[in-house]
Amino acid sequence: MSHDFDTTILNHVSHRPWPMAQTPWVMTQTWHDLLFAHWRIDPSLLRPKVPPPFELDLFDREAWIGIVPFRMSNVGPRGVASLPWVSEFPELNVRTYVRVGDRPGVYFFSLDAGSALAVRAARFLLNLPYFAAAMNVTASGTEIAYESRRLDNEQAELRADYGPVGAVFEAAEGALEYFLTERYCLYHVTRHGTPYRMEIHHPSWPLQRAQAEIRRNGMAAASGLTLDDAPPLLHFVKRQDVVAWAPTRLRQA
């Protein structure tokens, strides 16, 4: 497998809401055929599910839940070549939006992956809620058929067909699409409950409107969340190259 990570992304920083971290980044990832599917949710229902150190980040006083299926390649430490069955696998995230101070970020309720090694590593190193899943992703032209079922909870399942509609665009600052996608860190807590921030960098998102047929979706329910019956807001991204830094522990108030 060739390592085709695009290192020129490090030269594109003008779009960032704050400067890149000055310490060396530690890993690469490339995200492919990604669907952002978003639902509004009452903040009062979400607040008990998010650790207290993290403030809910709202858009027009509304909270959002994102379910994000994609596949990854080029996953690995800085300077290490990609390896078959190690550096490439599907992933499926359930997330919401939080902030600490002036830095908005992402909080993950779950991350399902088709790699048992990745699941073990992320749980051990980052205490992230990763789960092993049986996953299959196939492409037919621009259409993606995505299937995932968590190995220890068959209700945590997603079956969907999706694809792009229309031209690529960049979200304007202040728009809902910008709020939901242009985020340059994740937040979580250690095993001892200490909050941390993990910085990332990528170019601005090359978004497309999307269409999707979601035949089965138990992902939010598996995290104790209930989605309303309204159609989700959908966006597609063909590819995004990403670097990440080691986590930084945060002071607690």
Cα separation of 121 and 130, whole Å? 9
Cα separation of 153 and 133, whole Å? 9
Give the residue ranges of DSSP H helices in the chain.
43-46, 116-126, 176-181, 219-222
pTM: 0.95
- According to the model, what pLDDT value does residue 1 have? 38
Cα separation of 181 and 97, whole Å? 10
Return all residues near 76 (Cβ < 8 A) that are at least 6 apart.
Answer: 27, 28, 82, 83, 86, 87
Is residue 182 within 8 A of residue 207, CB to CB? The reply is no
* Bridge partners (DSSP) listed for residue 107: 96, 187
Is residue 207 within 8 A of residue 168, CB to CB? The reply is yes
Beta strands 27-41; 233-244: pairing state: antiparallel
- According to the model, what pLDDT value does residue 85 have? 62
The full set of domains in the chain, from first to last, is: 35-245 (2.40.400.10)
Is residue 186 within 8 A of residue 107, CB to CB? The reply is yes
Is residue 159 within 8 A of residue 95, CB to CB? The reply is no
Task: Give me the tens of pLDDT residue by residue for the chain, a chain 253 residues long.
Answer: 347 899 999 999 999 999 999 999 999 999 999 999 999 999 999 999 999 999 999 999 999 999 999 999 999 999 877 666 678 999 999 999 999 999 999 999 999 999 998 999 999 999 999 999 999 999 999 999 999 999 999 999 999 999 999 999 999 999 999 999 999 999 999 999 999 999 999 999 999 999 999 999 999 999 999 999 999 999 999 999 999 999 999 987 6
Residues in the chain, total? 253
